[in-house]
Structure 1
Amino acid sequence: MAQIEYFLALQSPWVYLAGRRPAEIAALHGATLVYKPLDALALFPRTGGKVRADRHPSRVSYSAEDLARQARKLGVRMTADPLFRGANPAPAAYALIAAQAAGGGDLAGYVLAIGRAMWAEGKDISEDEVIHAALAENGFDPKVADRGMLMAAETYAGNLEEAVSKGVFGVPFFVTEGARFWGQDRLDDLEAHLAGA
């Protein structure tokens, strides 16, 4: 059985646009999808990238234009500049790690709920009530994040180191069977690889 390592940052609009598709592709091909949330703001400078604030204005404006285009294409509701864009994503990431370890719920649904909270509903994804609601909505005990906090914090830091060692430089990023795929617009390529095409 193939394993897909899914490196992601929950505040990323591109992860939000990926939606449930990574999980659907994994299920279609009998693969295991392993969520590996990480600190993208720490990843970028370590791998030659720049955080949004340090990018040239032409790159920032193109990214906004492309996000709007992709959201329309996918039929996804998205705010161009969410109210809590700078929210700390670590608590929501810790909850994802703890929920994955606990099992029994819908991880793809949780990731989508956190992205929707930020990019469509104007919510602060660092707040406990937002995280707990996303967990409960997707079949997890809302307190799973509280119980797994220490383990999750260690895993979160470890995911960053693992990502750097595997050549990951952005999110969403998928690593499987020695192949790497960057971006929600490469999910067709990931699916083709798993199909042996």
Structure 2
Amino acid sequence: MKHIDFYLDFISPYAHLAFEHLPQALEGLSCSVAYKPVLLGAILKHHGQLGPAEIPAKRSWTYRHVLWLGHANGIHIEMPASHPYNPLPHLRLALSTSDDGSISRLVAETILRNVWRGGEEAGDAARLAALAAQLEPKRDMNGDENKALLKRNTDEALQAGVFGTPAFVVDGRLFWGFDGLAMLRACLAGDAWFDGPQWAAADQRPSLLRSSKS
């Protein structure tokens, strides 16, 4: 049985799409999945990137794109009333249900659907309190243990080469994005392409772009 580490941040609409589509993508395959919340903002900062919503033209495209993807794939998705928003409360709440940094599929589903269905304010305090009551966390969501688990997950994701969410890691191979699910499935199904040079050597060539530090 193959194991998948699924790194996600609830702020990402692509994470919601990938989460909802994952059972279909893995149908007929034998594998386990660990759902690991990470702080996307910290990952982007580590790599010196802006988030899609921080670039006005890309923000407009991203929101239209994710709504189209939901429509085209039969996945229920609505933009929250404000976006981007601060995902830390949702991340810490999720991890307050966990002992090791992994959360159940039910917890991930409950939070993602709370954010990405209904078109309401994701960060509304009353909605967050209701969500916490529904999930019955093991400890205070703002406690140090949850903060430490979030940092550990994020650091682990960075060590695995993660640069955005959703990201999937299997046997040291990284797959990124909703549109990476088909590639993930092929790998899990034993497609020989992944043992050939097109995977192993694709990035083994010099870049002619000059470093910004040079």
Query: TM-score band, normalised by the shorter chain?
Result: 0.7 to 0.9
Distance 1:128 1:60, change over 3 A: same
Match of 2:86 in 1: 88
Paired residue for 2:35? 35
Q: Which runs of 5+ in 1 are unaligned?
A: 136-141
Aligned partner of 2:110 in structure 1 is: 113
How far apart, CA to CA, are the structure 2 residues paired with 1:149 and 1:20? 29
Structure with greater proportional helix content? 1
Provide the secondary structure at the position in 2 that maps to 1:146.
coil
After the TM superposition, which parts of structure 1 deviate over 6 Å for at least 4 consecutive aligned residues?
Answer: none
| Pair 1:155 & 2:149 matched | yes
Q: Amino acid of the residue matched to residue 113 of structure 1?
A: T
Separation of aligned partners in 2, 1:51 and 1:5: 22
Partner of 1:138: none
Q: 1:124 and 1:159 mapped to 2: Cα distance? A: 23
Q: Which amino acid aligns with 1:132?
A: A
Q: Which residue of 1 aligns with 2:8?
A: 8
Per the alignment, in what secondary structure is the counterpart of residue 180 of structure 1? strand
Residue 9 of structure 2 contacts residue 15 of structure 2 at CA under 8 Å; is this kept in 1? yes
CA separation of 1:84/1:66 partners in 2, compared to 1, >3 Å: closer, same or farther?
closer
Match of 1:72 in 2: 71
From 94, 97, 101, the counterpart of 2:95: 97
Verify the 8 A CA contact 1:26 1:32 in the aligned structure 2.
no
Query: Is residue 95–residue 141 contact of structure 2 (8 Å, CA) maintained in 1?
Result: no
Cα 1:53/1:62, change in 2 over 3 Å:
closer
Task: Report the Cα distance in structure 1 between the residues aligned to 2:41 and 2:51, rounded to whole angstroms.
Answer: 6
Do the aligned residues in 2 keep the contact of 1:20 with 1:108 (CA within 8 Å)? no
1:48-197 aligned at under 5 Å gives the runs 48-55=48-55, 57-80=56-79, 82-101=80-99, 107-121=104-118, 122-125=120-123, 127-133=128-134, 135=135, 142-146=136-140, 149-197=143-191
Give me the TM-score of the superposition, normalised by structure 1. Answer: 0.79
Distance 2:185 2:98 in 1: 23
Uncovered stretches (5+) of structure 2, i.e. residues with no partner:
192-214
Give the distance between the partners of 1:154 and 1:88, measured in 2 at CA. 18
Residues 87-116 of structure 1: per-residue CA shift (max 9 Å, x gap): 4322322333343438xxx82232222122
Aligned Cα RMSD in Å?
2.7
Cα distance in 1 for residues equivalent to 2:82 and 2:132: 14
Distance 1:11 1:193, change over 3 A: same
Q: How many residues align?
A: 185
Counterpart residue identity of residue 35, structure 1: Y
Q: In the aligned structure 1, how far is the partner of 2:66 from the partner of 2:26? A: 25
2:4 counterpart SS class? strand
